[in-house]
Structure 1
Amino acid sequence: MVAHRYGKALFDLAEEHDIRRPLLEELTELKGIFEEQPELNVFLTSKQISYLDKVKMIKLLTKTASQTVTNLLNMTFDYGRICNLDAIINEYIRLNDEFERTVRASVVTAIKLEDAQKERLASSFAGVVGAEKVYLDEKIDPEIIGGVVLKSNSYIYDGSIKTKIARIKRLLLK
């Protein structure tokens, strides 16, 4: 709920000031920093760390940041919502994807796909879900034997050999 309100307000502000794309890039970079340094979130929320040390860290994080990101970090820190920062950024990314008609999906295959295969898969999937662009996060799982499993927020397609074998097995056991 908090993430939705903050993310929506941030997105509306970005739209109003025509900074939607640059803000997306900056927020994605900030999200990466927190993912690479998980202890940063612990540091900023810990009761054992002094308020002044936390303020110094926020200043360090905002040293090269835009005014919008600086305001976001300061506000979430001041209101005790810094722990929601990742969810706020995720909501902003979701709203931006919706605006750009972009879908992020994971694709699981038994072997690594070639670039041409990924492009065809992304193009086909875009047609199915009505998106203009599809970003595929590729994962390899030899246990699916063959085929492909595609998952996005609103769609799951399981065309793996493992699932087909399981389906046949269920039919034979009836």
Structure 2
Amino acid sequence: MTKAGDLYGQSLYDLAAEENLTDDILGEMEAVKGIFKENPDYVTLLSEPSVPKKERLQLVDEALGESLTPYHLNFIKILIEKGLLREYSACYNRFRKNYNETHGIAEAFVTTAVTLSDSQLATLKEKLEKISGKKVLLQQKTDPDILGGVRVDLEGQLFDGTVKGRLSELRKKVDDVVI
């Protein structure tokens, strides 16, 4: 995470908390982050110094002005004025981290060879909530290379129950015995 992203994200979070808008602004930030990711040319245009600042700010007003809280809209304008719009994702990450800490939320990234069913996800989420003592937000991705099983990253703690992980452990044990 960049220093500017940390500072600006922290500042926006502090303001949102003061104004009791953390839920609203977090939702908006997720939407804007998605827009920026899907439209990198738009971010390039808003960051382009050869385009007058006034025009870039007007473009943001026209595109996002109706859908964002004034604090969030002004935040984006400040990033544009300071030439830091590309730090938006880092700002979001800092905001999200603070939000999660304040609300007792842990993020977990689940990797499986095949997509888990809703009931499997619910069971996994329940177990992770017992382990962490927090409400867990699960993000799932599939990776056929793990062959089978589940790998979970819960706030930096890795639980590897994959076939690939077990085979790797066996390989290490065999190498230790042979050598």
Establish whether TM, by shorter chain, passes 0.5: yes
Note if 1:108 corresponds to 2:107: no
Q: Partner letter of residue 101 of structure 2?
A: E
Q: Which residue number in structure 2 is paired with residue 2 of structure 1?
A: 4
1:130 is matched with 133
Superimposed CA distance per residue, residues 73-106 of structure 1 (whole angstroms, 9 cap, x where no aligned partner):
1211122222212211221111101111112221
Match of 1:54 in 2: 56
TM-score, with structure 2 as normaliser: 0.88
Provide structure 2 residue ranges, at least 5 long, that are not aligned to the other structure: none
Is the aligned partner of 1:81 residue 2:67?
no
Matched residue SS, 2:115: coil
Identity, % of aligned pairs? 25
**Alpha-carbon distance in 1 for matches of 2:53, 2:19:** 32
Residues 160/24 of structure 1: CA separation in 2 closer, same or farther (3 Å cut)? same
- Distance in 2 (alpha carbons) for counterparts of 1:171 and 1:62: 57
**Matched residue, 1:25:** 27
Query: How large is the RMSD of aligned CA atoms in angstroms?
Result: 1.6
Aligned length: 173
Q: Report deviation, 1:58.
A: 2.0
User: How far apart, in 1, do the equivalents of 2:123 and 2:78 lie?
Assistant: 43
Aligned partners of 1:61 and 1:69: how far apart in 2?
13
Q: 1:90 aligns with which of 84, 93, 100?
A: 93
d(CA) in 2 for partners of 1:99, 1:150: 23
Greater Cα shift, 71-80 or 57-66: 57-66
Q: Which runs of 5+ in 1 are unaligned?
A: none
Tell me the residue number matched to 1:40: 42
Relative to structure 1, is the Cα distance of residues 16 and 51 closer, same or farther in structure 2, using a 3 angstrom cutoff? closer
Partner of 2:167: 165
The partner residue of 1:154 within 156, 160, 173 is: 156
CA distance 1:48–1:91, shift in 2 (3 Å): same
Contact 1:62/1:69 (8 A) holds in 2? no
Q: TM-score, normalised by structure 1?
A: 0.90
Partner AA of 2:77 in structure 1: N
Contact 2:53 2:81 in 1 (8 A): no
Deviation at 1:124, TM superposition (A): 1.0
Give the drift of 1:49.
3.3
Q: Does 1:66 align with 2:69?
A: yes
